[in-house]
Amino acid sequence: MTGQPKPAWRSVAEQAKARGAFAHVLDGTSHLDKLGTLDAIASALSFPEYFGRNLDALYDCLTDLAWLPPGEHVLIWIASDALKQADPRAYVAVHGTLSDAQRALAPGGERADSRTLTVVLAD
């Protein structure tokens, strides 16, 4: 998740599938607040019903993913700038939680296991 130009989401999804990863797409154009974005992430990654709809619960679910198959899971956030423009504080909070979870699941991370999370901001 860097400040470089955003790749086309279809290309990211194709690349993920080509390397055997699971692509999960989040369309940010229709989620302009924190709660809507959290719900959309939960839907994209098929979170369990007990998801608490807050940032702590988001981190906990993102760093577990036990209900998904082992391997790399790529969350492709299309049009993340829509939330950034509508609610900059919510964007920073969600973006930070996604970044923290990605690091925690990386090899050597505090919650590393048979699933990894890659988050890509895309257009």
**Tens-digit pLDDT profile for residues 91-102:** 999 999 999 999
Question: 121 - beta bridge partners?
Answer: 77
Residue 35 has pLDDT above 60, yes or no: yes
Which residues, listed in sequence order, are joined to residue 116 by a DSSP beta bridge?
Answer: 72
In this prediction the pTM is 0.92
pLDDT band at 3 (very low <50, low <70, confident <90, very high): low
CA 112 to chain centre: 16
For residue 109, is it within any domain? yes
Domains identified in the chain, total number: 1
Query: How far is residue 108's CA from residue 104's CA, in Å, rounded to a whole number?
Result: 8
The verdict on residue 3 lying in a domain is no
Count Cβ atoms below 10 Å from residue 23 Cβ, excluding itself: 20
CATH number of the domain bearing residue 109:
3.30.370.10
Positive/negative CA dihedral, 14, 51, 93, 29: positive
Residue among 76, 104, 99 at smallest CA distance from 12: 76
Residues in the chain: 123
Q: Is the residue at 2 inside a domain?
A: no
Q: What mean pLDDT do residues 1-5 have?
A: 62
Please report, as a single letter, which amino acid is at residue 80: S
DSSP letter for 30, please.
G
65 domain residue, yes or no: yes
Q: Is residue 78 within 8 Å of 89, Cβ to Cβ?
A: no
Domain that holds residue 85: 9-122
Q: Tell whether the model's pLDDT for residue 118 goes beyond 70.
A: yes
Average pLDDT over residues 28-49: 96
